[in-house]
Amino acid sequence: MTALRLSGIGHAYLGRTVLDRVDLAVGAGEIVALVGPSGCGKSTLIHVAAGIVQPLRGRVEIGYARHGMVFQEPRLMPWATARENIAYPLRLARIARKDRRARAEAIAQHVSLEPEDLDKFPIELSGGMRQRVAIARALASRPDFVYFDEPFTALDVALKRRLQDLVISAAQEARFGALFVTHDLFEAVRVAHRIAVMEAHGQGLVGERVIDGIPGCRADRTVFETVAGYLAEDRLFRHVNDIDERRPP
Amino acid sequence: MTRLGAVASNRIGRAGRFLWSSWSGLAAIFLFCAVWQIGHEAYGAFILPSPLAAVRAVIQLAGEEANWRTAMTTAERALEGFALAALAGTTAGVIAGYSAAAIRLARPLVTLILGVPPIAWIVLAMIWFGSTDGMVVTTVTIAAMPAAFIGAAEGIMTRDRGLDDMARAFGAGPWRRFSTLAVRHVAAHVFPALVLTLGTAFKVAVMAEVLSNSGGIGGGLARARSNLDVSEAMAWVLIAVAALIAVEYGFVRPIHSELERWREAARPWGVRR
């Protein structure tokens, strides 16, 4: 069964084409990592899939019931406590205040947020904690699909690893599918079942690789060797680390 | 239960700090009175009555029930105008904030309205409505509206688009995005503007009353002027200022500080008070 199917997606900002003829399908319960060099249109594609951006061309077919999303920045409401932020999707779904509280607290425990943190405002939390709140918010409405838009790029290595583990275990437990945008191949190989690689200028996908084993059960050594193998021998990943920082985003 | 207790103690603590901060306000008022007293001693009681004489005049005025009604008349007119200005200004500002074309059209209009002195509006409103309540309220509304309008429009224009996208990703339509995100952001911009609007409302109401002789505090002032009773004039000014302070600190500021609770939390230890 397909949870998400993108066909022939094309988009342009002010006449500048950023995406063209992108086709991608994600199965139910499958985690697909979408990699590509900076500025290749990964973020635009995930925004299109999540319904934030209306594509100029193409079709988005949705086979899941509900989705959540984690952004690169936490995007928390600064005036609301961590608890209210986590419960925001439930508020949008018009769930009663008392149930919202209970569910937000349950999911917070899941992502290792202490009860006393829940009464704090985002500004009182560290960067890692804020991103934990953002993950809890994405999972609060018990989605069967989650979009991750480079969620851990701004975090340090140790924190990144812990939050990746958090996502992997949450995905296994809640059995949600996910589209995980990243430009970090290690991250992609750790969390995903399959890696899709985008063309450097958003002209569709250039290919994909299914990663051996299942996320969370791969030894670090295997992850390193897989990534090293991709970068050294696989033509598909040749352009992934190419960055032209002078190009406008 | 413990959570409720913590919330209550937090609230009492904040209310206490708010009240405690009035000491500095009192200090400022007494400093002002000291300067006033110096002026009184330099120029004599006819030009500038002493603060004590003015306070005595206030007490004397406060002794008569009719004067309370007079003060209430002005307060009612000012608040009516303020409410109309706040409502119309904020609504128009929100609409203009969402529409780039509307804001482009509205900005020169706002400059125009701000450029017309309130005294001109008073004259126009006197011609349109005569010396009535409606004339004062109209003048107050027109003079006070631009600040609320600009505050609301700025609030909408500077809202966090990232949060908007987040809400959209979680399935929020335009109305839900407005009611859950934009309203909070706009409130932070509108409240300082409302404080300004409120001050304008009282000033313009008194001015309109003085000019049109339509009762209220302004009427009292006009009478004091024709009797050359400077301490009574001073007393009416004090009453107008006291009414403004009562509304601002009893109503507008507490709401604002409730909305800005999170900013308080953001302050580092040691500079909380």
- Per DSSP bridges, beta strands A145-149 and A67-70 are parallel
- The DSSP bridge partners found for residue A6 are A24, A60
In angstroms, rounded to a whole number, what is the distance separating the alpha carbons of residues A203 and A41? 9
From the list B162, B166, B265, the residue facing A121 with the nearest CB is B265
| Residue B255's pLDDT band (cuts 50, 70, 90) | confident
Name the closest residue on chain B to residue A84, using Cα atoms.
B180
Whether the pLDDT of residue B244 is over 90: the answer is no
Checking ipTM against 0.85, whether it exceeds it is yes
CA distances for B211 relative to A34, B113, B216, B241, angstroms: 72, 20, 12, 19
Long-range contacts of A52-55 (CB under 8 A, 24+ apart): A52/B165, A52/B168, A52/B169, A53/A11, A55/A9, A55/A10, A55/A11, A55/A19
Which helix (DSSP H) or strand (DSSP E) does residue A105 occupy? Answer: helix A97-110
- How many CB atoms neighbour CB A176 within 10 A? 25
A29 Rama sector, left if φ>0, alpha if ψ -120 to 50, beta otherwise: left
| Contact call for residues A49 and A196 (beta carbons, < 8 A) | no
Among the listed residues B11, B141, B143, B19, the one whose alpha carbon sits nearest the alpha carbon of residue B82: B141
From the list B181, B259, B266, the residue facing A123 with the nearest CB is B266
Which of B170, B184, B259 has the most A C-beta neighbours within 10 Å, making it the best mutation to test the interface with A? B170
* Six-digit token string for B56: 């005595």
Whether the pLDDT of residue B250 is over 50: the answer is yes
Which helix (DSSP H) or strand (DSSP E) does residue B151 occupy? Answer: helix B133-157
* Six-digit token string for A248: 């406008």
CA dihedral B241, B246, B249, B254 (to 10 degrees): -150
Which of A44, A64, A72, A79 has the most B C-beta neighbours within 10 Å, making it the best mutation to test the interface with B? A79
Note if the pTM is more than 0.80.
yes
* pLDDT score for A44: 93
| Residue B170's pLDDT band (cuts 50, 70, 90) | very high
Angstroms from B263 CA to nearest CA on chain A:
8
Summarised one tens digit per residue, pLDDT across range A84-125 is 999 999 999 999 999 999 999 999 998 889 888 999 999 989
Residue whose structure tokens are 């006291």: B242
- Residue B125: alpha-carbon gap to chain centroid: 22
Beta strands in A49-99 (DSSP E): 57-62, 67-70
CA distances for A89 relative to A60, A81, A85, A201, angstroms: 22, 14, 8, 34
* Six-digit token string for A34: 């979408």
Residues of A in contact with B165 (CB under 8 A): 47, 52, 71, 75
Residues of B in contact with A92 (CB under 8 A): 167, 170-172, 176, 180
User: Which stretches in chain A have pLDDT values below 70?
Assistant: 243-249
| Contact call for residues B257 and B18 (beta carbons, < 8 A) | yes
Cβ contacts of residue B24 below 8 Å, gap of 6+? none
Summarised one tens digit per residue, pLDDT across range B44-65 is 888 889 999 999 999 998 888 8
Answer yes or no: do A121 and B262 touch at CB < 8 A.
yes
Within an 8 Å CB–CB cutoff, is residue B163 touching chain A? yes
- The DSSP bridge partners found for residue A16 are A13
- Per DSSP bridges, beta strands A145-149 and A2-13 are unpaired
Answer yes or no: do A47 and B180 touch at CB < 8 A.
no
Residue contacts between A and B (CB atoms, under 8 Å): 58
